[in-house]
Structure 1
Amino acid sequence: MSRWRTAAIVAALAGYALLSHGLMTWWPEQPWSIAVLFGPLLGGLLIAGIAKRHVPSLLGAAGLGLVLALVQQHDGGSRVEMLYVLQHAAMHAVLAYGFGITLREGSTPLITQMAARLQRSLPDAQRAYTRRLTVIWCAYFIAMIGVSLLLYRLAPWAWWSFYCNVLTPLAAIALFIGEYLLRYRLHPEFERVTLASAWQAWRAVDAAR
């Protein structure tokens, strides 16, 4: 991927995050705000349902669309805010489940699966490390839900919106890059893997599931 393309993607994601924060802070109940803020989730469910013939995804998209329509029709207010919180929590819960279920006895941890796609062999030390890293990501997603609920209950709505739209993606990026930089300080014997190849391995494992 070229630097210009990477920069364009980063700029687009940053722009969407700031736009979402603005819409969620000042016009959370407006129909066009709801369309922009729930559009990616609805689109993702529809694409997954159609492309993979995944009935639960299609049912989830239909159910979410119905709930949004009912809330909008009955003048959402705090109900719309709760839906935003639930969307944030549900997405992190799905990710936590996706990582956590691979930690069961007899299963291969998710990040171990990714590492196996990038390297011909995995020594025991690397298998143990990737398992611990899978645990860390699972715990991270659960912690993000806890922080979200605390902010929603105790802080102004604008604070929660900033946390959801700006701090959430930044925290994920910081953990991803921080682990990448720390990995070779702790384990210089590990093979070098680029961030781009790690992302490709994630997509490959996700597609195979």
Structure 2
Amino acid sequence: MPTEPVPQEPVAIPDEPHSRIAPTRRTFIASGTAVGTAVVAGTVLGTDLLSESDAAAAPSAPTSRLTVTVNGTRHTVTVDNRTSLLDLLREHLDLTGAKKGCDAGACGACTVLVDGHRQNACLTLAVRLEGAEVTTVEGLADGDHLHPLQQAFIDEDAFQCGYCTPGQIVSGVGCIKEDHTDSPEEIREWMSGNLCRCGCYVKIVRAVEQAAGRK
């Protein structure tokens, strides 16, 4: 025999303005989407509306006046303090022989001579070279007469794509000046900072040996 349900007293829900009711999944997603859209729209609109005023209020990047001698020519320029020697050469002085490869000092394509010593131009701040003498691959030849190492690279066919070649030649000149050419193994060791993605290392070593007078 079925039992009759026991009547329950209704539970009064307090009418509080700040009472919280757990949202459903649908209302949570809808509200989250609305908030996200509003934030993105506000960001975009805020950027568009404030870009001019922000640009006017933003402090200008610090600059310095620099005098440096490159390939025998004296240059006085004003550059952003963050400008690398590589960007100074390529963007300001239109000397594009030094290549921007890794831009992290790992490939050697940007090698130049600073006061006679090999240096990665991409890792060198231009403002640190006040009064320095810089030699790039453009400054090695004497007019139409190639530097002995440039000629040796041609004789030994020591390149393929040629992208690393300027850095290889400048580094090889430094290697010869530093007297690190007693053996092919020593040349490889002291030229190891210059990468050739085409794999012309054997011919590069032969070219350095030729220019150093070992062949």
Structure 1 length as normaliser, TM-score? 0.24
Q: Which has the higher strand share?
A: 2
Larger Rg: 2
Structure 2 length as normaliser, TM-score? 0.24
Q: Which has the higher helix share?
A: 1
- Name the structure, 1 or 2, with higher relative contact order (CA <8 Å, separation 6+): 1
